[in-house]
């Protein structure tokens, strides 16, 4: 290894990931040998990387001499014997445990005993890959994100028998490559892909239950909850034949943890060939690569009406929306006979909430309070809310220009359910010591582009509110996927931030 942390690197597999890793390694000053079982793939990859480096120069992101120097550090290898002098070999072949195990056995033969063997696998167990090797202590995960040059995160994953020095060296190498490395213990889906299940699985479950449609979930998550991409746009980009098998792998490795239970609808859509952008048909249709977003139906015209708001934390904000719309506000202690009843539950479905509060379910509409009624409002029916009540409420809520999505009854609406699942999984990652609280939030923001990390979400929205949402979902459905865990409960009980780490047992 060079004094400045640079290394002689071998990369096996010159596909989408291998070439991205080769690019950032060469740009960081490492010498890189690239090998692929298809001999033409390596030449293609080197030409592709050259083009990417030229583009970086054109866009002013790189000096031309640096780009030329990076190109000169890249070369093709004809076979694995070329890696005899490598300090680190990164495996990026297709996601197949048998194939990867064979590659690792061959690498053990081809490399020096102190050469680190790293895998870029997204979902296979590092401990299991290492167990097939004579020296599992030199095997680790080095998990980059696609497209590598634009995604700064790398997870450095220690298998059960990985030497700590190997992890330290990969962390240093990650920095040389211009990445932000986070240390992660071996776990199903590691850190980022474990948390990512919360977003896409819960969204798919919601649609499977008939709560609303794909485009509506995406709009709510973008415009109310502040995510850059809706879960179904994301699934179309990644492709279901990647996401669904990875979910099954994570579920199996976790011995059927209910939070990772695959969604039946996702499996069916994969079998039907609705994979996403790459097949032009997924949750959306694509024409010449352009997503065809269904038009949102026009909002109904304002008809006035009398609205009563249930007392509670969000009552004043909802009353203000009613007042400023020009509709009448019923200020009675109980709703008048003709008034539409607005409620703002956390975790409870509208029907159960109305029944428990003794409110007329045919006149009740629930509005999601979690993100402060900004960006986009979600209006949820009870199972028997009258259509004209929904129409009047929709028109009133949108009179200030804020769009509204009407949905069927669901404990936790859409955004509450999805964000609560992200925090539940993220706090499970913290509780199981897979990564530190700071690294969990950092990795999720960098690797998934979420507006907040899972623990930050819990702090911003209030741990007590997140717990209430999970408890409500759990009570209504009886599904253990929604159970709360000790991480959030203890920090809520002590009034501490969700990011509070635990003190050591000894000084």
Ligand X SMILES: NC(=O)c1ccc[n+]([C@@H]2O[C@H](COP(=O)([O-])OP(=O)(O)OC[C@H]3O[C@@H](n4cnc5c(N)ncnc54)[C@H](O)[C@@H]3O)[C@@H](O)[C@H]2O)c1
- Footprint on this chain of ligand X (rule: CB under 6 A): 12-18, 35-38, 41, 92-95, 99, 103, 120-122, 144-146
Q: Are 162 and 137 in contact (CB under 8 A)?
A: yes
Among the listed residues 7, 122, 216, 427, the single catalytic one is 122
The residue count of the chain comes to 507
Residue closer to ligand X by CB (options 154, 473) is 154
What is the closest distance, in whole angstroms, from the C-beta atom of residue 98 to ligand X in the complex?
10
Active site residue 283: no
Which residues partner with 377 through β-bridges? Answer: 404
Sign of the torsion formed by the C-alpha atoms of 228, 49, 16 and 454: negative
Residue closer to ligand X by CB (options 83, 214) is 83
Query: How remote is the C-alpha of 195 from its chain's centroid?
Result: 6
Q: Are 100 and 73 in contact (CB under 8 A)?
A: no
Residue closer to ligand X by CB (options 98, 331) is 98
What is the closest distance, in whole angstroms, from the C-beta atom of residue 13 to ligand X in the complex?
3
What is the closest distance, in whole angstroms, from the C-beta atom of residue 180 to ligand X in the complex?
15
User: If DSSP codes are grouped into helix, strand and coil, which group holds residue 372?
Assistant: coil
What is the closest distance, in whole angstroms, from the C-beta atom of residue 123 to ligand X in the complex?
7
Active site residue 143: yes
Among the listed residues 119, 120, 193, 205, the single catalytic one is 193
Residue closer to ligand X by CB (options 142, 307) is 142
Q: Which two tokens stand for residue 10?
A: 């071998």
User: If DSSP codes are grouped into helix, strand and coil, which group holds residue 403?
Assistant: coil
Residue closer to ligand X by CB (options 182, 424) is 182
Active site residue 91: no
User: If DSSP codes are grouped into helix, strand and coil, which group holds residue 134?
Assistant: coil
What is the closest distance, in whole angstroms, from the C-beta atom of residue 436 to ligand X in the complex?
22
Convert 147-182 to b/e letters by CB count within 10 Å (16 or more is b). Answer: ebbebbbbbbbbbebbbeebbebbbbbbebbebebb
Distances (CA, A) of 35 to 81, 93, 494: 10, 10, 54
Among the listed residues 155, 223, 310, 456, the single catalytic one is 155
Q: How far apart are CA 357 and CA 340, in angstroms?
A: 15
Q: Which residues are catalytic?
A: 122, 143, 155, 193
């Amino acid at each position: 290894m060079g004094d400045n942390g640079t290394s002689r690197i071998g990369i096996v597999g010159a596909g989408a990931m291998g070439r991205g890793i080769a690019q950032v390694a060469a740009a960081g000053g490492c010498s890189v040998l690239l090998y692929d079982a298809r001999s033409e793939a390596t030449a293609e990859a080197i030409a592709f990387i050259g083009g990417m480096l030229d583009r970086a120069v054109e866009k002013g992101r790189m000096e031309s001499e640096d780009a030329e120097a990076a190109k000169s550090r890249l070369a093709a290898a004809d076979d694995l014997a070329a890696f005899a002098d490598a300090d680190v070999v990164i495996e990026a072949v297709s996601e197949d445990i048998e194939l990867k195990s064979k590659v690792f056995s061959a690498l053990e033969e081809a490399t020096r005993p102190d050469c680190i063997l790293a895998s870029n696998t997204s979902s296979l167990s590092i401990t299991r890959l290492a167990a097939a090797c004579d020296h599992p202590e030199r095997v680790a995960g080095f998990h980059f994100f696609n497209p590598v040059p634009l995604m700064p995160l790398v997870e450095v994953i220690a298998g059960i028998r990985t030497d700590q020095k190997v992890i330290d060296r990969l962390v240093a190498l990650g920095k040389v490559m211009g990445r932000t490395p986070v240390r992660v213990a071996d776990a199903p889906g590691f850190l980022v892909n474990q948390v990512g299940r919360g977003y896409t699985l819960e969204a798919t479950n919601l649609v499977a239950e008939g709560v609303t449609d794909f485009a509506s979930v995406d709009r709510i998550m973008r415009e109310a909850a502040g995510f850059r991409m809706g879960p179904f746009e994301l699934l179309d980009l990644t492709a279901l034949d990647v996401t669904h098998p990875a979910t099954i792998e994570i579920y199996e490795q976790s011995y059927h943890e209910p939070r990772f239970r695959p969604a039946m609808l996702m499996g069916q859509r994969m079998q039907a060939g609705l994979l996403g952008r790459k097949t032009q048909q997924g949750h959306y249709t694509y024409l010449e690569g352009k997503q065809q977003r269904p038009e949102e139906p026009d909002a109904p015209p304002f008809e006035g009406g009398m609205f009563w708001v249930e007392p509670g934390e969000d009552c004043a904000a909802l009353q203000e929306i009613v007042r400023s719309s020009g509709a009448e506000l019923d200020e009675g202690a109980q709703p008048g006979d003709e008034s539409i009843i607005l409620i703002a539950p956390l975790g409870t479905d509208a029907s159960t909430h109305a029944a428990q509060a003794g409110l007329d379910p045919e006149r009740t509409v629930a509005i999601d309070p979690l993100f402060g009624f900004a960006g986009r409002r979600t209006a949820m029916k009870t199972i028997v809310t009258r259509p004209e009540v929904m129409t009047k409420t929709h028109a009133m809520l949108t009179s200030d220009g804020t769009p509204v999505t009407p949905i069927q009854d669901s404990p936790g609406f859409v955004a509450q359910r999805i964000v609560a699942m992200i925090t539940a999984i993220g706090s499970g990652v913290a509780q199981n010591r897979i990564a530190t609280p700071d690294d969990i939030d950092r990795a999720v923001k960098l690797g998934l582009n979420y507006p907040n990390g899972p623990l930050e979400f819990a702090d911003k929205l209030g741990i007590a509110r997140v717990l209430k949402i999970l408890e409500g979902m759990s009570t209504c459905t009886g599904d253990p996927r929604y159970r709360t865990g000790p991480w959030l409960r203890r920090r809520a009980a002590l009034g501490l931030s969700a990011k509070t780490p635990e003190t050591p047992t000894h000084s």
